[in-house]
Structure 1
Amino acid sequence: MPDLPTPQRSADPPAAGPLACALRWWRAIPLADRVDRRNAAMLQLVLVFVGLYQLIAMLMAWWRAGAAIDSVALWLAGFNALAMWVCFALLRRGAFLWAARLFVVVSLALLTVGYARWGLEAQLRGQLGQLLPVLIGGLLLSRRALWGAVAWLALVVALGAWRDAARMFFLPSLWPRVLEVAVGSLVGFVVVALVLDQSVAALRDSLALARKRGNDLARSRDRLQLEMQEKERSRDQLVHAQKMESVGRLASGVAHDFNHLLSLIMGYAARARRSDDPQQLKAALQGADAAARRAAAVTRKLLDFSRQEATRLEVFEPAETIAGMRPMFDQLFGLGVQVRLHLHEAPCPVRFDRAQLELILLNLAANAQQAMPEGGQFELTLAPRPDATLEIAVRDSGHGMSEDVRARCLEPFFTTKPSGQGTGLGLAVSANLIAAAGGALLVESAPGQGSVFRLRLPLHAGATAVS
């Protein structure tokens, strides 16, 4: 059955509908502050509503009254609608505060004209809408704007009450009714203003506290970033210092290993000078060549460290490696020490750096040679353990170590040798390398009873050993 072509999805997003475009335009008020944007969205809605309402009310009044319509009311409605749309235009250009101020001033001015012309009684039905300048001034501007609008409304109410009293020729019998209406209006305005003032004050205090906390958090964040950068610089300096220290230790370790290898090469050279037998000459040259190759491995480790290269791990048979080192052991110990290798015949592959294992065993053999100046026995036993590890036991019949020396022999730079004959790094580096491979280096020793170093490495199960 042939494969059907997979429809490709268009990279361009689908075109937005008119409603989505209108909503995006409605919300796109050029204000940076998030609170101002929210307030501006509310004011924008009020302006559109009032502007449309004034136009609709003016048209309906014209339709009902016709030519008998009050021209002042018509002009006031038209001017109010025009002012609302001017405020809307200012708001869309980002002049949020100017739009709010203009709305409050125009509304109060038109109320003043209305109360002066028609009086207080005629305005009672619309007093709920007359609270708009108070609400806008208190919510969007300031406490001063709130109480300024209330004071203006109080004057407007007084003006309307005076207009009603004048219409009734200031009859004393009608004053209680006028005062009752005026006081009721004033009390309503003041109560609304008080509630609004306290609520807005609480909101503004909460907002100021939140902004203060935000600023404190921002300063704390900046301070923390500076501290982190400072700690990062300190860490880099510490890493550099540790790197230099590691280079120094590595150089000491390289010198330590080179001393053993140079001793082997010099021993092979001395054997070649003392013998005229071609076979012995060939064996001496092969031994010197093997020692030189191991010296090259030491320099390779130094280069790997400088290049930050990983250890060259491989799976191999330690028995084959140890068997190949037999000539080196013989050359290192000479005729006064009996060298015995007990190697397990079954496959026991491990995953380790072959050159590092050779250097570890050479280091242990060199320590054993120095512990047996009068001669003795050196045994190297390789056998698997029940816990899936391979144990390489290096035993000598030397003078042994006290308990204090045995407990500290794996510490870096700890040595009992005279100055110039040891760095105290051989055993420490060996223990670290074995531990990094998941193994362990154990030491058993007692004064006059020799020493046993047990190298335990995990067996590499299911792998094919590399010869």
Structure 2
Amino acid sequence: MTNPILRPIVAWLRDIPGGDDTTRGNGVALQLLLIMIGSSLPLIWPYRIAALIHPLTRSDWIDLCTDSIVAASAWVGVVKIRRGDVQGATRLFVASMLLSQALTYVQRGLMSSMLDQTYVVLPIVLGGLILGRRTLWRLYGLLIVLFAAGGAADVSRLAAKGAQHPMMGAINVLPLALSYLAITMVLDQCVSTLRGSVMAAERRGLRLEEMNRVLEDEIAAHKNAREQLIHAQKVEAVGRLAGGVAHDFNNILSVIEGYAEAREESDDPAVLRSALYGVAAAARRGAAISRKLLSFGRRDVARLEVIDLKRALRDARQVLRQLFSQGVALSVDIADDARYVRFDPEQLELMILNIAANARDAMPPDGRFDIQVTRLSPEHVRMAFRDDGQGMPEHVRQSVFEPFFTTKPAHAGSGLGLAVVRDVVRSHGGTVGVESLEGRGTTLLVDLPALAGHGDNVLRPSPLIHTLLVEDEDVLREMWSRRFEAEGFLVVEAGSGTQAMRLAAELAHTLNLVVTDLRLGDNDPDAWTDQLRALLPEVPILVVSSHFPPTIQRTKGVGILHKPCSPDLLVSEATKLVETSWRRGLRGEDVAAASHGG
């Protein structure tokens, strides 16, 4: 019950602008002291006046004036602290206390003022703790002067009364001076130790801050070097594939040239139309090769996806075929329970090509390169890359993953390949090792975290679902796109049927989902899903419309959602459709594998 009441008060006391933590801490304590003194002194005097039998004497009036000065300085000091001037508030309050003490000593003398030492102790304590050691000793000197003035007033008063020993009025000056000297020395030592500790802590903080900056620079440099290493290896991989790519492009150009000559051989529209279709198909094949090259040359951020290794290695096999000579036997064997991992697809291809390129350089022209994927354990999948090349001696095997280590001549290799493989595998939570004997070939073992996905287990789709969003209403399309992207989808937008078909053809190999309106203005609503299904047979399609013709039905891979619908419902239905399609694909492929095995 107390904390909620005190919390805003404490927050107000700590809300002091400027200064360091020590100054603000001193300001909190000083505020409490000044508020207490500024409040208590005005309340004491009405009680004293009511309790007095006789009228106020001259001494009482002087005490009232001095207390008023101290109370007023206390409230002015609070205002100064609220403005961030903690030291100014301290100087003002200490000065008012010393002035009050001086007036009291001169009026009453030292002996009659010794009962209340508050006005003596507070200035020296506050001055030492807040204003520093030099001010502490100056305040001690002023106190000695005040003690002497008070003692002189007592001596003068005793002499006026005809006392035999008037110097007895100054008897307390020396003991007081020695007592406050001890207090001042203790305060000086404490303040010195405290300030030394604070300065040492500040120096340590500065050193830690500097070390942190150096560490951040080193981390940034390491990250940059790693990115440069991977990028350099991508460029090297492109260079090694240049021969095979040039061969493919020459074939494509020959096909285009052959179809182009058809216009000179025949004026039949059907022949010309067939030739144009052939040119378009060849162009699409060339575009696919271009995208493959561009994916090697870009420095992209890692994009983790759930990857079907059977499909990925099937696509990579075509590239590997260009990498190896025609005499090399190439085989790929993937266990059904070890097909799925979470990996960046481009870095997976980069890893495979680097391993294959190193194997190619160690193999004979009629050698053999095998890729085998098995379930190593419930938590790991193992990819084994075997070649029947010349193998490695032990000292080479131990250094094979070091950057720039190579056994080739300087012009024949950079020594980056397997170092990049190691970094890529580690960045995806895996491990890599090598088994090799000289003269008996080499096996590179890549162990990756496995995903559930066999049998009845649920395999979650990739958090980055590549989605084609088709909607001709700009505002609605923009709103849905923002909502999908907020949930981790990678969205490509299309505002018409023509644009959607073009994008679907270009992105067919990467799309995971299509979300589309049924009536776009330039499409046939009755045949729209059939057109998309023909182009994207394995991609789930979520159709969103206010009216559905009888020909549109919810079937395998096609979902239906009626407008109007909320963005949350849209994202939920899209996610369910992708998950269902993924699970159905797994079961269908398992059944197919079993039937082939039988």
Per the TM alignment, residue 130 of structure 1 is displaced from its structure 2 partner at its CA by 7.7
Per the TM alignment, residue 107 of structure 1 is displaced from its structure 2 partner at its CA by 1.5
In the alignment, which residue of structure 1 is the partner of 2:436? 444
Higher RCO (CA-CA < 8 Å; seq separation 6+): 1
Which SS does the other structure have where 2:301 is aligned? coil
Q: Distance in 1 between matches of 2:319 and 2:124?
A: 97
Please state if 1:195 is matched with 2:184: no
Q: Distance in 2 between matches of 1:453 and 1:137?
A: 79
- Aligned ranges 1:94-243 → 2 under 5 Å: 94=77, 95-111=92-108, 129=115, 142-165=139-162, 175=164, 179=165, 183=168, 186-187=170-171, 190-218=174-202, 221-222=205-206, 224-225=208-209, 228-229=212-213, 232=216, 236=220, 240=224, 243=227
CA contact (8 A) 2:151 2:172 kept: no
CA contact (8 A) 1:269 1:288 kept: yes
Instruction: Name the CA shift for 1:155/1:47 in 2 (closer, same or farther; >3 Å).
Output: farther
Per the TM alignment, residue 103 of structure 1 is displaced from its structure 2 partner at its CA by 1.3
Letter in 2 for 1:296: R
Instruction: Name the CA shift for 1:38/1:398 in 2 (closer, same or farther; >3 Å).
Output: closer
CA contact (8 A) 1:350 1:458 kept: no
CA contact (8 A) 1:401 1:451 kept: yes
Structure with a larger share of its residues in helix: 1
Instruction: Name the CA shift for 1:317/1:111 in 2 (closer, same or farther; >3 Å).
Output: closer
Q: Distance in 2 between matches of 1:325 and 1:235?
A: 34
CA contact (8 A) 1:341 1:380 kept: yes
In the alignment, which residue of structure 2 is the partner of 1:424? 415
Instruction: Name the CA shift for 1:159/1:84 in 2 (closer, same or farther; >3 Å).
Output: same
Deviations along 1:375-403, one digit per CA (max 9) or x if unpaired, are 53425253525534544544444444444
Q: Distance in 1 between matches of 2:371 and 2:38?
A: 92
Please state if 1:460 is matched with 2:455: no
Residue 339 of structure 2, aligned match among 349, 361, 382: 349
Which SS does the other structure have where 1:60 is aligned? coil
Q: Distance in 1 between matches of 2:40 and 2:151?
A: 24
Q: Distance in 2 between matches of 1:288 and 1:310?
A: 29
Instruction: Name the CA shift for 1:135/1:243 in 2 (closer, same or farther; >3 Å).
Output: closer
Letter in 2 for 1:60: I
Instruction: Name the CA shift for 1:268/1:364 in 2 (closer, same or farther; >3 Å).
Output: farther
CA contact (8 A) 2:303 2:345 kept: no
Please state if 1:299 is matched with 2:294: yes
- Aligned ranges 1:204-353 → 2 under 5 Å: 204-218=188-202, 221-222=205-206, 224-225=208-209, 228-229=212-213, 232=216, 236=220, 240=224, 243-244=227-228, 246-256=230-240, 258-259=241-242, 261-262=244-245, 265=248, 293=288, 296-303=291-298, 305=299, 308-318=300-310, 320-322=311-313, 336-337=327-328, 339=329, 341=331, 343=333, 346-351=336-341, 352-353=343-344
Deviations along 1:44-75, one digit per CA (max 9) or x if unpaired, are 57854775576446x5114xxxxxxxxxx744
Per the TM alignment, residue 193 of structure 1 is displaced from its structure 2 partner at its CA by 4.8
CA contact (8 A) 2:252 2:282 kept: no
Which SS does the other structure have where 2:152 is aligned? helix
Letter in 1 for 2:302: A
Letter in 2 for 1:152: A
Please state if 1:81 is matched with 2:74: no
Which SS does the other structure have where 1:376 is aligned? coil
Per the TM alignment, residue 102 of structure 1 is displaced from its structure 2 partner at its CA by 2.8
CA contact (8 A) 1:400 1:446 kept: yes
Instruction: Name the CA shift for 1:207/1:108 in 2 (closer, same or farther; >3 Å).
Output: same
Letter in 2 for 1:299: L
Q: Distance in 2 between matches of 1:41 and 1:49?
A: 13
In the alignment, which residue of structure 2 is the partner of 1:92? 75
Which SS does the other structure have where 1:461 is aligned? coil
The alignment's TM-score, normalised by the length of structure 1, stands at 0.62
Letter in 1 for 2:97: A
Letter in 2 for 1:424: G
Which SS does the other structure have where 1:89 is aligned? helix
RMSD, matched Cα: 5.0
In the alignment, which residue of structure 2 is the partner of 1:387? 377
Q: Distance in 2 between matches of 1:150 and 1:250?
A: 87
Q: Unaligned 5+ residue runs, structure 2?
A: 14-22, 78-91, 128-138, 256-279, 454-458, 460-582, 590-598
Which SS does the other structure have where 2:368 is aligned? strand
**Residues 407-416 or 328-337, more deviating:** 328-337
Letter in 2 for 1:108: Y
Q: Distance in 2 between matches of 1:37 and 1:250?
A: 66
Who wins on radius of gyration, i.e. which is larger?
A: 1
Report sequence identity in percent: 21
Per the TM alignment, residue 187 of structure 1 is displaced from its structure 2 partner at its CA by 4.1
Instruction: Name the CA shift for 1:432/1:220 in 2 (closer, same or farther; >3 Å).
Output: closer
Letter in 2 for 1:302: G
Per the TM alignment, residue 198 of structure 1 is displaced from its structure 2 partner at its CA by 1.9
Deviations along 1:314-359, one digit per CA (max 9) or x if unpaired, are 23142x554566666666656644x363635644312145555555
Which SS does the other structure have where 2:436 is aligned? strand
Aligned residues: 387
Per the TM alignment, residue 206 of structure 1 is displaced from its structure 2 partner at its CA by 1.9
Deviations along 1:189-208, one digit per CA (max 9) or x if unpaired, are 65455334422442244234
Q: Distance in 1 between matches of 2:226 and 2:353?
A: 28
Q: Distance in 2 between matches of 1:324 and 1:401?
A: 30
Which SS does the other structure have where 1:211 is aligned? helix
CA contact (8 A) 1:135 1:146 kept: no
Letter in 1 for 2:154: V
CA contact (8 A) 2:106 2:149 kept: no
Deviations along 1:403-449, one digit per CA (max 9) or x if unpaired, are 444444444434444555444333443344344442434332422x4
CA contact (8 A) 1:137 1:146 kept: no
Deviations along 1:218-237, one digit per CA (max 9) or x if unpaired, are 45545654565566556656
Q: Distance in 1 between matches of 2:243 and 2:40?
A: 94
